[in-house]
Amino acid sequence: MTAGTGRLIGREHAAGVLRGQVERAAASHGGLVLVTGEAGIGKTSLVTGAAEGARERGALVLGGSCWDSDNAPGYWPWVQVLRGLRRALGDDAWAAAARDVGGSLAGLMGEGDRGDKSDAVDAFQVYDAVTTLLVGASQERPVVVVLDDLHWADTASLRLLEFAAQHAWFERLLLVGTYRDVEAESPGHPLRGLILPLVAKATTVTLTGLARDEVGALMARTAGRTPDAALVGEVHRRTGGNPFFVEQTARLWTGGDVGAVAPGVREAVRRRLGLLPDPVVALLTAAAVLGRVFDRKVLAAAQGDPVPHVDRLLDQALAARLVAATGAGRFEFAHDLVRETLYDALPEDAARRLHAAAVRALEGAPEASGRSVPAEAARHAYLAGPELDPGRVLDLLVDAAKDAEGRFSFEEAIGHYRRASEVAEVLGDVRRHTVVLLGLGELLRHSGQVEAWQHFETAVDRATGLGDPELLARVALTLYRDSGTTIGRRAYTVEVLRDAHRALIGRADPDAATLEADRLARELAVRFAVLARRGADDEALGFSLWATHDTIWGPGTAAERLPLIDEMITVASRAGDLEMRLHATSMRWVTLLELGDPRYLDQYRTFVADAQLVGQPRFLMAASIDASLISSLTGRFADAERHFAEAMARFADEHKPYQHLPAHMRWAILLMQGRHAELDELHREQLASGHFHPSLLAALTDLECGRTGDAVRELRRVLDEYGDTEPYDRVYAPLWLRFQALAAAASGDAELCERARRDLVPYLDQWTVSIFGCDISGPMVLWAAVVDAGQERWDAAVDGFTRAVEAAEHMRARPWA
């Protein structure tokens, strides 16, 4: 527990207290110091360092250790002290001092007849003789007596210590004792009645666990290399900062197995547990199954015991410092090694039963389970194995995965889905297993892992082999939604869409083989929704509504999407699907805005209030993103920047498919403010982030900056390449319409302007909204007016600009007015 210089790690204050006591003993008088703490906490190391310092100051240091054995002779630590004193004095001086105190020391030192030490008179003579010898020695130089492990002392030794402390207070005699207070001060310990009076007379130094950084320093000293922060955190959590445990774990780390429990550590923990009554150990064993942190009410429910009874048993565990109260009825193990030792001792069948009991306790104690997260119930359900219905286990694992995803804990969510896949396969429910594989695939794809498509392909095979058209449709729509961000998967997705379309819709359509993917997906989603409504399957209906909404997204579909969103909110509320309800609420304000409906602001406020009420990171981030969009739209640019910064602080690195969105939103904010000087650097960021259409954004920037030549050349390039087909997908189509209008007007080319006007005419009463609301580019009529102005059609341009101003004022969108 010492650093390379010999300094104790994390014990500066405690060492300073002992050093002060030694200095006082050398200068004037001594006293009694008791150093307490659990096994391995560093008591002996501390007093050893203090003893070395006392010797350096010229003090005579005498020591004795108690022995954990019924065969230890009486006064054993004092016998060692006196032997040390005899060596220090020499034979002649010792003989003279022994004669002065009478013959009571002969039996104590094992010389001659020791007599009966139970006799009160003889005991007093021993106390007085030993004290007199030590006081006499202190006349020549200070004396420091160190008695180690007093929790193993015999009663006579403790009474002698109390006598010496009381009768030598004014002498240069310092008495130092160490003991495990969690053992000796516990109710029922045979020495408790003798230890507590000593505490009242003593200066007490209580040692507790090392802090996290101190654990790291001790690990580095022990292993000879510096551990990383994550490892230090894990070791600190498992050991509670106990130096002995830390050193033992660090030595295992050098061998590569930091997760194991060292034999010495396990034995130390077992010794402490062995001091507790059996009912307390049984309760702690059940608590060990619940986890490092546990709720008293859940523990009581799992054990089937009344809460007051559990509280009484926990009080004993608290007194032994094996657990600590953290507030609100929750407790945690002082060291995870204690929990691991208890858990590892459980037979497998007993552990499974306790895990099953934990699940039932969480379900049956709403006031307690409300404090836990779904991950707890899922973990217990999985580990309960055959003790629980596998269908219920599967439900809990999927719920936990969705909860973890909402907290941006994607690795945790992936783990839940993997275990759910394992359970579903054992269950033999192909349909549910296929849905789980889709959830797993989406999360892996979300995290940028190519493994995602292995699970997607397995889901396709399962759905095809089962011959379930609705399931195949769900698989196809999921792949369609995910293929847009995965290079090289489009053709495979279209093939699956065609198979699903043929299986579900099944009409003899000669054009079906040549339908585009977007139309295939739209028809599939609509048909799937119809069937889900008939089957009263809210989960399937919610998926189909969401899929339909996303597949029809694009200019001119807002009126069609609005009833879908309203039905989505109804279904989500009925099914308790929080994610879908909040997503739909957010999409509703976006759709109202696209329709030019000023009620979008009230809907936006409803979404933000609901997101804040739920408090999950995912929804808080979405609320910050929406707040930034609304602030920018309404001309509050400082607020837009602030909310954008809040969103990015929550934006997890795992959002790999959406890494382009922050750069796009930042571009829109800067462009709206006319901060052109910052845009060139931002375009480089967009390229690095993998933005799908960086050239489109760069061309729009060129137009805003007056670089019309480059923008017009980009427009002609795109039209030459794509001809009459749509050059951009429906998500970016509104932004393309804006660019086409601006570039065509800048060119003055009649053909380009007519094409731009023709494409805008169906949407003149709507707003230019792209990327599901992440880009808001003003009213569509504004861009038609720009085209008219480019062709010097002044009356039409004035009318269009007037309508654009009115639309912007109606929507409180000041920058567009």
- Give residue-wise pLDDT tens across range 69-103: 777 788 999 999 999 999 999 988 888 888 888 76
- Mean pLDDT (the chain, rounded): 88
* Res 706: pLDDT: 87
pLDDT of residue 687: 59
Please provide the DSSP assignment of 649-718 as one string: HH--TT-GGGTHHHHHHHHHHHHHHT-GGGHHHHHHHHHHHT-S-HHHHHHHHHHHTT-HHHHHHHHHHH
In this prediction, residue 180 carries a pLDDT of: 92
pLDDT mean over 491-514: 76
Q: Find the range with the poorest average confidence among 220-224, 397-401, 711-715.
A: 220-224
Among 460-474, 639-653, 739-753, the least confident range: 639-653
- Confidence label for 119 from pLDDT (cuts 50, 70 and 90): very low
Dig out the tokens for 751 from the structure: 């053909």
Phi, psi for residue 564 in degrees, rounded to 5: -60, -45
Q: What is the pLDDT of residue 655?
A: 52
Q: Which two tokens stand for residue 202?
A: 């003593």
Q: What percent of the chain has pLDDT over 70?
A: 92
Q: Any idea which residue has 């200068």 for tokens? A: 27
Residue 134 confidence (pLDDT): 94
Give per-residue pLDDT as tens, 146-194.
999 999 999 999 999 999 999 888 899 999 999 999 888 887 789 999 9
On the 0-12 / 13-18 / 19+ scale of CB atoms within 10 A, 813 is buried
Q: Which of 601 and 321 is assigned the larger pLDDT?
A: 601
* pLDDT given for residue 575 in this prediction: 87
pTM > 0.75: no
Q: Would the pLDDT of 782 be above 70?
A: yes
> How far, in Å, CA of 177 to CA of 36, rounded?
8
What is the number of residues in the chain?
Answer: 817
Average pLDDT (634-645) is 94
**Digit-coded pLDDT (tens) for 243-279:** 988 888 888 786 666 666 777 778 888 888 888 899 9
Q: Do 768 and 737 touch, CB atoms closer than 8 A?
A: yes
**Residues 6+ away with beta carbon under 8 Å from 268:** 39, 40, 244, 245
CA dihedral 418, 422, 428, 431 (to 10 degrees): 0
Predicted local confidence at residue 238, as pLDDT: 85
pLDDT at 683: 73
Q: Is the pLDDT of residue 605 over 90?
A: yes
Position 118 scores a pLDDT of: 42
What is the mean predicted confidence (pLDDT) over 727-751? 94
- In this prediction, residue 490 carries a pLDDT of 79
Q: Residue range 233-251: average pLDDT?
A: 87
* pLDDT exceeds 50 at position 60: yes
How high is the pLDDT of residue 369? 47
- pLDDT-above-90 percentage for the chain: 58
CA angle 329, 335, 340 (to 5 degrees): 100
Summarize the confidence of residues 663-679 as an average pLDDT: 87
pLDDT, position 171: 93
What would the mean pLDDT of 508-533 be, rounded to a whole number?
A: 76
CA distances from 346 to 285, 289, 342 (A): 8, 9, 7
Hey, what domains does the chain have and what are their CATH numbers? Answer: 12-206 (3.40.50.300), 212-255 (no CATH), 261-388 (1.10.10), 616-691 (no CATH), 692-817 (1.25.40)
State CA 322 to chain mean position distance: 24
| pLDDT tier, 652 (very low <50, low <70, confident <90, very high otherwise) | low
Give the C-alpha separation, 744 to 790, whole Å: 8
> Does pLDDT of 628 surpass 90?
yes
User: Is 4's pLDDT higher than 60?
Assistant: no
Across 601-628, average pLDDT: 92
Q: Residue 576's pLDDT band (boundaries 50, 70, 90)?
A: confident
Q: What is the pLDDT of residues 415-433, one digit of tens each?
A: 999 999 999 999 999 999 9
pLDDT at residue 805, as a whole number: 97
pLDDT score recorded for residue 239? 86
